[in-house]
Amino acid sequence: MSPPVPSKILTDDVSLLMVLIDSNPHFWSSIKPHFSFSKFLSHVLAFLNSILLLNQLNQVVVIATGINSCGYVFDSSSGSVSQRAESLLPKLEEFAENDESLSERDDDSGNGVGSSLLSGSLSMALCYIQRVFRSGPLHPQPRIICLHGSPDGPGQYVAIMNSIFSAQRSMVPIDSCVIGIQHSAFLQQASYITGGVYLKPQQLDGLFQYLATVFATDLHSRNFLQLPKPVGVDFRASCFCHKNTIDMGFICSVCLSIFCKHQKKCSTCGSIFGQAQTRDPSASQQRK
Amino acid sequence: MANDPSSPVKLNVEFRTIKGHKFTKDGTKQALLNLTQDQGGNYIFEFENFPDRNVCKDFVASAIALSGEAGRTVPEKSAVPIQDEQLSAAEMERRIKLLQEDSDLQKLHKQFVIGGILSEAEFWATRKKLLEQNYSRRPKQRVALKNDMWSTKPLADGQSNRVTFNLTPEIILQIFAEKPAVRQAYLNFVPNKMTEKEFWTKYSRAEYLHSTKNVIAAAAEAAEDEELAVFLKQDDMLVNEARKKIRQVDPTLDMEADEGDDYMHLPIQDHGLPRNDNKDVLDSQYEPYRRSFSQHLNQHAAVVLQGRVIDVELGDTRSVAEALARTKHAELAKDASDVYLDKERLERISRMTEIEDLQAPRDPAVAPLSIKDPRDYFDSQQANAFSTLGDTVSGAKQLKCSVSTREAYCSLKECISEIKFQGLTEPTINSEVAFKVLNGLAQNISSNKYHLGRNPNESILDSLPKITREELLLHWSSIQELLKHFWSSYPITTKYLLTKATKLKDAMSQIYPKLQEIKESVQSDLRHQVSLLVQPMLQALDAAFAHYDADVQNRSARSGERPNGF
């Protein structure tokens, strides 16, 4: 068992910002007419520099989320002098090369946009935060911001939920800024559970303004600022047979799977349900 | 049990527990008075003549009447009406305690049971688990057999040469359990050859002889009296039993158990126990009359550990003896016919004596897992998320990537190098765009605040005034209770259920306008939230009413068809 993390000195305005950048090439090429990766990068770099200007003790770490791998591309605390955000560019290029070399197939045209490895980068961010917790006297006030656009990969559901729960446990809020066309259910849940902010900007060319207004605030100031909230997170269940959202339904008493109509047998665990009671005893009498 | 004036057993039964009395008619053969207890037992008294019996009968009748009234005091605190249910005092206590502990339950109870909508039985019928929990905190223990071996020690009266033995039913049970020969002798001799009193006298004499440790005298008396000899000799039945027990020892548990452990056949040297007294070897004719202390101790211990095997009342000696004999027979029969058990034992022995290294690997008996694809479940959640945020169109519109992977990466890298060479765009952001964004955000935030409140995790209930909140919660729990009983009384098959359903429906229709009132009384800015809260309650009530009306219509239509009615 690892030794317990010692308690730290809390300071008001310090923040450790973990930025997860979506580097899914398919996504960026599909969104090209609206928003290009270079414009995106320029907004983000300006934002990162301004974070570093807010407080001398602020720290920024950038992790790129590819489709085959994830990697650290920028760490403001490495080196003797705090670096400017532009130094992430060569590392990002390297990362893209690496990611490309890892992909197996060449012809993926018309396949739809795949998902990027959000679970991997979330885990890497959380690991970095844990490391910082165990060193130095100051509490880093960490938070994670996901700049994400790729669609959610259903295969990563369990891994992402696990990272969300560990973030919740370490009290690290996960902010989400969704730059894609669709909303992301995973990130909605993540922000809701960890107490972060979820935002889908209406105008992507004002991205810097969104970032500076909403996501630049440190954790202490959030207590007296009002940040945008989503209208609601839908926690309603959907039935296993038709994937419809339902309010009232039938539940298997063995495995708790949900069905909208009465079934003879549970399709998940195979248990057989009993007979439904007939309402009208006189009807059976008449039959006799 | 026959009348035995020498027996010190006194009958002490409280009149509280006696429910009724029966008696034989005057002039029949026996004058009997039968007192029945409420737990089902009864005591039969035989009188010498009828006038005596009648006097007793009258006394008993008045005593029962008195104690009946005294016992049925209604506890003041809860004023619970006892209806046709037979409640024991313990049950009442439990219910009162539960009501005292849980104030919500008490409120519901007051509302429905005192108000006459539900009966006691119905109210508690669904709460059996609660009652049981309270009750089972007191574990029920049965009294085991006494571990006292010297209870048959006679009291020697110093003045005269009389020795008194005390025999209670408990002791008799123990004697029969420990010494099957005595039990067998009882069944054989009584009441054919001798009465019970004589039997026990002889037995006591045998015990006395044993206690004097005078083996020669014992042999002498045994030679004279055949029946006494039975008590003095070794117990053959016991011997056989012991032997059988040894054979049944599972060698996988105790490899060492063998015939040497048969405690009945221990050599007279008592297996290592030092015996200071007579080491002289007696004639072989006296051997059977010698009793070994260790044998007796072992047998006594075995019986005590076995516990009570029979449930017969201890009053009637004969029935006790018969019951014990029956149990023993049943055991014997079971052992004899239990070939399957033997086979299983052999199998187990062979399995346990296997040498693990030499065995082939055995597949564990498991059922294969069937893990479902998480995609099945997850895809639906995505649709939910979109519909909540009001994005109906984009859910359908999937992004199409018509570019190959290679090209995609190329364009990505191009973008990066573009910035590297050109630097950041200047200005980073257009001022008009920035202004628009700020305005949009501000509006969004203020409208959200108006609708949701500061903290998304805060519930509506907390923002209501306390009285309203309490009322709403109370209505909610009452509605739950009423609906539970209402739906459980369908389908209606008896008149009782019909009246019950009608009563419940009336109670529910009383709550209905109260909910409407609450909705209206709340401040205007909270009204929407409260109506959202109250909505499902009203819906549930409406569903119940609709069902009730439909059922009533059906019923009247049907009774119109059949002339003989329902």
Q: How confident is the model at residue B80 (pLDDT cuts 50, 70, 90)?
A: very low
Task: Report the alpha-carbon distance of residue B90 to residue B457 in Å, rounded.
Answer: 46
- What is the three-class DSSP state of B430? coil
CA distance to partner chain A, nearest, from residue B349 (Å): 37
Residue B441 has pLDDT above 80, yes or no: yes
Amino acid B140: pLDDT: 60
CB B187 within 8 A of CB B216: no
* B81 band by pLDDT with thresholds 50, 70 and 90: very low
CA A95/CA A88 separation, integer angstroms: 10
Is the confidence at residue B459, as pLDDT, over 50?
A: yes
DSSP reduced 3-state for A73: strand
Please state which of the ranges B10-14, B192-196, B450-454 shows the lowest mean pLDDT.
B450-454
A131 Cα to chain B: minimum distance (Å): 30
**Chain A 126-185, residues with CB within 8 Å of chain B CB atoms:** 151-152, 154-155, 157-158, 180-185
DSSP percent split of chain A into helix, strand, coil, nearest 5: 35, 15, 50
Residue A241 forms contact with B (CB below 8 Å): no
* Contacts B383 to A, Cβ<8 Å: 238, 243, 245
Question: Residue range B234-263: average pLDDT?
Answer: 67
d(C-alpha A128, C-alpha A62), whole Å: 11
* Residue in A closest to B420 by C-alpha: A89
* Cα–Cα distance for residue pair B457/B480, rounded to 1 Å: 26
The full set of domains in chain A, from first to last, is 9-105+113-223 (3.40.50.410), 236-276 (no CATH)
Contact (CB, 8 A) for A164 and A197: no
User: Which pLDDT tens digits describe chain A residue by residue (288 residues)?
Assistant: 555 555 666 677 788 999 999 999 989 988 888 888 989 999 999 999 999 998 888 899 999 999 999 999 999 887 767 778 888 898 999 999 999 898 876 555 545 678 889 999 999 999 999 998 888 777 788 999 999 999 887 677 778 888 999 999 999 999 999 998 888 888 888 898 898 999 999 888 899 999 999 999 888 888 888 888 776 665 555 677 776 666 678 888 887 777 888 888 887 777 888 765 544 444 334 333
For residue A238, give the DSSP letter.
Answer: B
Residue A260: predicted pLDDT: 83
Q: How far apart are alpha carbons B172 and B314 in whole angstroms?
A: 8
Contact between A62 and A48 (Cβ < 8 Å): yes
Least confident piece of the model among A102-106, A169-173, B203-207, B260-264: B260-264
Q: How close are the terminal C-alpha atoms of chain A, in Å?
A: 72
Distance CA(B118)–CA(B261), nearest Å, equals 67
**What pLDDT, on the 0 to 100 scale, is given for residue B372?**
65
Summary mean pLDDT of chain B: 71
A203 close contact with B: CB closer than 8 A:
yes
Question: Residue B328: phi, psi to the nearest 5?
Answer: -65, -40
Size of chain B, expressed as the number of residues it contains? 566
DSSP 3-state of A60: strand
Residues of B in contact with A226 (CB under 8 A): 445, 449, 454
In this prediction, residue B83 has a pLDDT band, given cuts at 50, 70 and 90, of: very low
Least Cα separation, residue A271 to chain B (angstroms): 13
- From the list B158, B3, B121, B440, the residue with the least C-alpha distance to A200 is B440
Asked if the C-beta of B491 comes within 8 angstroms of chain A's C-beta atoms, the answer is yes
A226 in reach of chain B (CB within 8 A):
yes
Furthest C-alpha separation in chain B:
132
B342 pLDDT band (50/70/90 cuts)?
A: confident
Contacts A245 to B, Cβ<8 Å: 380, 383-384, 387
* Euclidean distance between CA atoms B187 and B185, whole angstroms: 5
Tokens at B272, concatenated: 């290592």
Angle at B27 between CA B23 and CA B30, to 5 degrees: 55
Q: What is the CA radius of gyration of chain B?
A: 43
The closest CB to that of B558, out of A111, A226, A282, belongs to A282
Of residues B256, B167, B266, the one with CA closest to residue B207: B167
Give contacts of A 1-60 with B, CB under 8 A. 23, 25-32, 36-39, 41-43, 45-46
- Cα–Cα nearest to B127, from B111, B105, B103, B97: B105
CB contact under 8 A, A206 and B429: yes
| Tens-digit pLDDT profile for residues B469-500 | 888 888 888 888 888 888 888 777 888 888 88
* pLDDT number for residue B396: 38
Q: How confident is the model at residue B84 (pLDDT cuts 50, 70, 90)?
A: very low
Chains A, B: CB contacts under 8 A, how many?
214
Round to whole Å and give the CA distance between B311 and B327.
11
Instruction: Give the pLDDT confidence score for residue B221 in this predicted structure.
Output: 73
Structure confidence by residue, pLDDT tens digits, B511-541: 888 888 888 877 777 777 778 778 888 888 8
The secondary structure element, H or E, covering residue B33 is: strand B31-37
| CA-based radius of gyration for chain A | 24
CA B274/CA B255 separation, integer angstroms:
28
**Coil vs helix vs strand at A213:** helix
Cβ neighbours of B381 in A, within 8 Å: 185, 238
The shortest C-alpha distance from B501 to chain A (Å) reads: 15
**pLDDT level of residue B418 (50, 70, 90 thresholds):** confident
Nearest CB among A92, A96, A279 relative to B409 is that of A96
Chain A residue with minimum CA distance to B378: A154
**Range 366-425 of B in CB contact (< 8 A) with A:** 370, 372, 374-391, 394-395, 397-409, 411-413, 415-420, 424-425
Does the structure show a pLDDT above 60 at B269? Answer: no
Whether the CB-CB separation of B460 and B533 falls below 8 Å is answered with yes
* pTM recorded for the entire structure: 0.47
Predicted pLDDT of residue A40:
92
H or E segment to which residue B516 belongs = helix B495-521
pLDDT at residue A145 in the model:
96
ipTM of the shown complex: 0.75
Can you give the pLDDT at residue B76?
35
Angle subtended at Cα A92 by Cα A91 and Cα A93, rounded to the nearest 5 degrees: 90
- Is residue A236 a contact partner of residue A247, using CB atoms and an 8 Å limit? yes
- Check CB contact under 8 Å for B385 and A185: yes
Compute the distance between CA of residue A179 and CA of residue A201 in angstroms, rounded to an integer. 7
Q: Mark yes or no for CB contact B425/A227 under 8 Å.
A: no
N-to-C CA span, chain B: 56
Split at pLDDT 50, 70, 90, the class of B427 is confident
B478 vs B226, higher pLDDT: B478
pLDDT for the residue B172? 75
- B387:A158 CB<8 A: no
Strand partners, A61: A18, A75
Nearest residue to A156 (alpha-carbon basis) of A115, A105, A108: A115
Degrees to nearest 5, angle at CA B381 with B377 and B383: 125
When pLDDT is averaged across residues B32-46 and rounded to a whole number, the result is 74
